Amino acid sequence: MKAIRVHETGGPEQMKVDQIDIPPPGPKQALVKINTSGVNFIDIYFRTGLYKADAPFTLGMEASGVVEAVGEGVSEVAVGDRVAYAMTRGSYAEYAVVPSATLVKVPDGVALEAAASVMLQGMTAHYLSHSTFPLENHHTALVHAAAGGTGALLVQMAKMRGARVIATAGSAGKAARAKAVGADEVILYAEQDFEAEARRLTGGAGVDVVYDSVGAATWEKSLGSLKPRGMIVSFGNASGAVPAVQPLVLSTKGSLFLTRPTLASYCATREELLWRAGDVLRWLAAGTLQTKVHRVYGFEEAAQAHMDLAGRVSAGKLLLKP
């Protein structure tokens, strides 16, 4: 089978299409024939070496497909099931062996391509809005990169929970996308000081929570946008890693809370996984949740997919097809 692997960490050119054997599923594992793989920043973090893995390794943390075979002791899925998953590396391939407990069945009426577009980012938006800082109708949230894959889903879920959403975007087109998915206000961060605007839009009070996937470039002003006892949720490094944090800074800016969550911690049990994935896929099937695919790439275009994602030229999900 074909698999996109990294033999040495570095730039997009380090991704190579290798021909390797189809792996057999072991106990509590399933072999999935990949239909579509999601492209995410975590793939870039592994490719560059920010996140560590033993080379050579196959990229990709999210996919949809059909169960081809199962190992001993598998009860969650059966051969022929349409499934999707996140959090198991190796989806940039024609086949992947996946722990069966991480697989969820894709409902009738949801295309496999659509399912692949929401698993990682959709469940991320779910835990951010429902668990990390459980939004309510009296809250105001600042959502960075609101036209991106996770950002647009997070805006929609925040509105489902009744919160007011102030979004940031990098262009007029992206601002329109953020508005289209429900943002109450949109700040063009390239033209406006988002900290000053967030303060203005809240009558000087500041926001209850900042959901920040951008990292280094937005860190200081994100802190400055919060009301006393507000929370900054740092869940990505699109512009680079956040610098070292002195706890005293949180004190001087109003007894702030800081968290750096991961999806794995918020899908720690199968029950929690099924709750989050079930909500996301059900909303997708019902049309309650909108998803936008920016582009579908072939394996030979994987490097371009990474460059497009890192360059923040996309508005929506990037997908990869074997």
Q: Give a yes or no: residue 71 inside a domain.
A: yes
Q: Does 276 map to a domain?
A: no
Is 100 within 8 Å of 74 (Cβ atoms)?
yes
User: The domain spanning residue 214 has which CATH number?
Assistant: 3.40.50.720
- Residue 49 within a domain: yes
Return the SS3 of 201: helix
Residue 278 lies in a domain: no
**pLDDT at residue 311, rounded to an integer:** 86
Confidence of residue 313 (pLDDT cuts 50, 70, 90): confident
Last residue of a domain, one of 225, 247, 263: 263
Once rounded to an integer, what is the mean pLDDT over residues 178-185? 97
Q: What is the pTM of this model?
A: 0.92
* Any domain includes 280: no
Do 142 and 250 fall within a single domain?
Answer: yes
190 band by pLDDT with thresholds 50, 70 and 90: confident
Q: 113 pLDDT exceeds 90? A: yes
Residues 137 and 255 in one domain: yes
**Tens digit of each residue's pLDDT (9 = 90 or more) over 73-88:** 999 999 999 999 999 9
Residue whose tokens read 């920043």: 41
Average pLDDT of the segment spanning 163-190: 95
Q: What is the mean pLDDT of the chain?
A: 95
Q: Is residue 234 part of a domain?
A: yes
Is 54 part of any domain?
yes
State residue 28's pLDDT score: 98
Question: What pLDDT score was predicted for residue 13?
Answer: 96
Q: Does residue 210 surpass a pLDDT of 90? A: yes
The alpha helices in the chain, defined as continuous H runs, are 41-48, 112-116, 119-127, 149-160, 172-180, 194-201, 219-224, 247-252, 263-266, 270-286, 302-310
Shared-domain flag, residues 16 and 57: yes
**210 and 163 in a common domain:** yes
256 shares a domain with 128: yes
User: In terms of domains, do 132 and 252 share one?
Assistant: yes
Task: Give me the helices (H) in 69-148, please.
Answer: 112-116, 119-127
Q: For residues 137 and 112, what is the distance between their CA atoms, to the nearest angstrom?
A: 34
The pLDDT value recorded for residue 149 is: 87
Q: Rounded mean pLDDT of 105-132? A: 96
Residues 313, 255 within the same domain: no
Are 205 and 224 contained in the same domain?
yes
Buried b (16+ CB within 10 A) or exposed e, 72-81: eebebbeeeb
What integer is the mean pLDDT of 11-24?
A: 97
For strands 57-58 and 2-6, give the pairing: antiparallel
Instruction: Say yes or no: 134 and 103 in one domain.
Output: no
First to last CA, the chain: 10
Residue 311's domain comprises: 2-117+291-321
Ramachandran angles phi, psi of 180, nearest 5° = -65, -30
Q: What is the mean pLDDT of residues 211-236?
A: 95
Convert the pLDDT of each residue in 139-172 to its tens digit. 999 999 999 889 999 999 999 999 999 999 989 9
- For residues 96 and 190, what is the distance between their CA atoms, to the nearest angstrom? 41
What's the pLDDT at 251? 96
Residue 307 has pLDDT above 80, yes or no: yes
For range 135-142, the mean pLDDT = 98
Q: Does residue 218 share a domain with residue 136?
A: yes
SS3 content of the chain, % helix, strand, coil (to 5): 35, 25, 40
Helix (H) or strand (E) holding 2: strand 2-6
The conformational region for residue 28 under phi > 0 = left, psi -120 to 50 = alpha, else beta, is left
In a domain, 286, yes or no: no
Q: Is the pLDDT of residue 199 over 90?
A: yes
- Give per-residue pLDDT as tens, 261-286: 999 999 999 999 999 999 999 999 99
> Encoding tokens for residue 163?
């919160």
Q: Are residues 136 and 69 in the same domain?
A: no
Gap between the Cα atoms of 188 and 192, Å rounded: 6
Instruction: Please check whether residues 140 and 221 belong to one and the same domain.
Output: yes
Total domains in the chain come to 2
**pLDDT above 90 for 240:** no
Tokens of 13: 């050119």
- The DSSP bridge partners found for residue 21 are none
Say which CATH number the domain at 89 has.
Answer: 3.90.180.10
